[in-house]
Structure 1
């Protein structure tokens, strides 16, 4: 049975830290959010393909952002930081910034880029969605740990605000379901019961099928 890890931070605090990290990387002001950029056309395109939008997760204070959650590594993969998924942000000066998934949450200049138009971004989405952090760039422990001992308990933690959405997805993408009595059916039951939203459930299903 996989081991669970102690919860040290509430999800709200971790969300704010994640916002501040991306804001600093993109030179976006925090106070008052004066530089927030919203893009309804990109929202329509990306969410139609399964990207999860900040505005749909109440993370839109800094403007729009979209995550390709199937690219999320297990939380144990992080070295010096938490792993993060491939993300897209509208640039305040126009166009779109892309950060590929990483093992430690850093923004690697060699794995980030800019698209001048939505059409340019759309033309590259298949490539962006297929990209994964190379296996040789992270090492998983022999006994991986998760936010709780079972998928059902992980979903309850998310519903209670104890873990954030990327922790939920990281856990449920990589959980060893064969070691539990209920298997992935526990996640399906949690979705039916309203413990996890459809956009995250779909991302988990999509990531497990990749």
Structure 2
């Protein structure tokens, strides 16, 4: 692992392992036999795909934010594709805006940027410690299903379970926030 995240460079070959049952879910978790699998334990051929998927998702967020910024400046919807050489592929994804001083709009996005080497460990810990977390979801009293809104602490837990950050980062941020 280097200072820019554990997945920013290709790892050395690992012992043979079968990735035939490994899939990457929409949320970014690696699933093997129904259980989350940390990125660092993926076989190289699957690891490279997982990193590429995360990078593509982050690029989509960046493009959508840049497009929204141009749209906010009252530029013509016809001029933007012409100036950007877009061929009908402008981002149509709604993304949360970035807050000043953060590399991601949510804790999970910040962890993704660390995992692919866009930010270093010190910045990751600083941003996760300062992040303005929102309260988690609650039940309606009848159903135990809880769906957390974007920006909750559960995203840090998800990032740790999914292998985007390690347990030491999780513990350091948790201790800094909760004493």
Length-normalised TM-score, structure 2? 0.36
Higher strand share: 1
Larger radius of gyration: 2
Length-normalised TM-score, structure 1? 0.31
